[in-house]
Chain A
């Protein structure tokens, strides 16, 4: 167990490697109740969100979701989140556990017009992530609904309990995230594990969540994203619509794009087997430190060390040869194309 954003969370159940391979091969169930849930509703809800967030919520029809950022005025990342357009005039935001209070205060301080209702539902809403190639069939078994497509969201009621079911995740596998009332958390967790047993479903903890996401180069806020770096530096500009007339941080991003993006978050893979790279280890070029790893681990799928770092832009080129310093020794590594793990065809 570990402390995570004031939650006590399991790092692992059967073992990080076992859970990781289970998600890649069958399916895993993650408790993601630590993540925050905000509801934004009212006739001006969409317009208000569009001025706070980087992606274009105007492109979302009811039943669709998108990944997006909440930025500070300097264009740095406060949080990365998913916005689901649940129905006309109602949006659900899923934010990072450690950022719930900060995000909520930041957004509330920018509530400007009538016609927007903004509530923090984090305390009474829980989330489970069902991830892996067998997740679609298990979802059929559990709910018997037409499955939401990638980034889509559906609401269903079963035995009086309302579920929000989204086809999203943090693993690179097919899968779903389910949100519902906290009063039902334990019962649903047990029910899904029981129904999932024939599919090889296993409970998974934060450890596997981290190795799975890093193999896909999905950033972790607080490690790979921070108020000091922009989404352009993080290589995530496709989630930023600079053509929108206005959103917080837009001016700073335009200025950075104009001036040249100085750093790039680059995937780095160890050239040979060795100790696992980890966050904060120095990254060197020609013997000189040029960065530190923002994340690092041993990839269970690839059997080799992987990580990410904000490199000077001229070094963030695929094939660039670097070294990672681990306890005073230097190990060769190269800049890779993301993701490390190519999704199965």
Chain B
């Protein structure tokens, strides 16, 4: 499984990329592989204020709908509109074209509780092959 070094991760299989005051959020390669063919993505509304650990988006495969939890809090400043026409981008390029949304990070927002790549790798290798 691809787990890029420069990202941060959650136990619920989201990734976060910090870029100054904004952060980009997506789901990991492991998550997309477990969800299989993604057929629909419901994104947060622009301007919505998200809370860390709360459901922010829904990713649906043929078999199930899965909540995506925001790794950190903040206001949504951009969503990936390309996913409406091509939700499979999340499967094909989970860390690139398949990103979900961008947040403006509030001052003082905690990111320390997120996992580094090595910790996340450990988590998914321990979680077993058949769990989602």
Interface residues of A (CB under 8 A from B): 1, 11-12, 15-18, 207, 211, 274-276, 278, 297-298, 300, 327
Please report the C-alpha to C-alpha distance between residue A58 and residue B15 in the assembled complex, in whole angstroms: 63
- The interface-forming segment of B21-29, B54-62, B92-100, B103-111 is B54-62
User: Taking CB as reference atom, which chain A residue is nearest B88?
Assistant: A17
Contact status B130-A16, CB under 8 Å: no
Q: Pick from A1, A276, A327: contact of B62, CB below 8 A.
A: A276
User: Taking CB as reference atom, which chain B residue is nearest A298?
Assistant: B39
Contact status B63-A11, CB under 8 Å: yes
List the A side residues contacting B36 at CB < 8 Å. 12, 15-16
Interface residues of B (CB under 8 A from A): 36-37, 39-40, 42, 58, 60-63, 65, 130
Task: Output the least CB separation between B35 and chain A (Å).
Answer: 11
Contact status B63-A12, CB under 8 Å: yes
Contact status B63-A16, CB under 8 Å: yes
Please report the C-alpha to C-alpha distance between residue A12 and residue B63 in the assembled complex, in whole angstroms: 10
User: Taking CB as reference atom, which chain A residue is nearest B37?
Assistant: A17
Q: Pick from B40, B61, B130: contact of A274, CB below 8 A.
A: B40
List the B side residues contacting A12 at CB < 8 Å. 36, 63
Contact status A16-B60, CB under 8 Å: no
Please report the C-alpha to C-alpha distance between residue A274 and residue B39 in the assembled complex, in whole angstroms: 9
Contact status A207-B42, CB under 8 Å: no
Contact status B40-A207, CB under 8 Å: no
Contact status B62-A275, CB under 8 Å: no
Contact status B62-A16, CB under 8 Å: yes
**Residue from B39, B40, B65 whose CB has the most chain A CB atoms within 10 Å:** B39
List the A side residues contacting B40 at CB < 8 Å. 274-276, 298
User: Taking CB as reference atom, which chain B residue is nearest A14?
Assistant: B36
Contact status A207-B58, CB under 8 Å: no
6 pairs of A and B residues whose beta carbons are closest in the complex: A1-B130, A16-B62, A17-B37, A275-B40, A298-B39, A207-B63
Q: Given A1-B130, A327-B42, decide whether A276 and B37 contact each other with a Cβ distance below 8 A.
A: no
Please report the C-alpha to C-alpha distance between residue A293 and residue B36 in the assembled complex, in whole angstroms: 24
Contact status B65-A278, CB under 8 Å: yes
User: Taking CB as reference atom, which chain A residue is nearest B129?
Assistant: A1
List the A side residues contacting B65 at CB < 8 Å. 275-276, 278
Please report the C-alpha to C-alpha distance between residue A276 and residue B37 in the assembled complex, in whole angstroms: 13
Contact status B62-A207, CB under 8 Å: yes
**Residue from B36, B37, B61, B63 whose CB has the most chain A CB atoms within 10 Å:** B63
Task: Output the least CB separation between A303 and chain B (Å).
Answer: 9
Task: Output the least CB separation between B44 and chain A (Å).
Answer: 12
List the B side residues contacting A274 at CB < 8 Å. 40
List the A side residues contacting B42 at CB < 8 Å. 275, 327
Please report the C-alpha to C-alpha distance between residue A18 and residue B37 in the assembled complex, in whole angstroms: 9
Task: Output the least CB separation between B94 and chain A (Å).
Answer: 16
Contact status B37-A275, CB under 8 Å: no
10 interchain pairs, CB-CB under 8 A: A15-B37, A16-B36, A16-B61, A211-B62, A274-B40, A276-B60, A276-B62, A278-B65, A297-B62, A300-B62
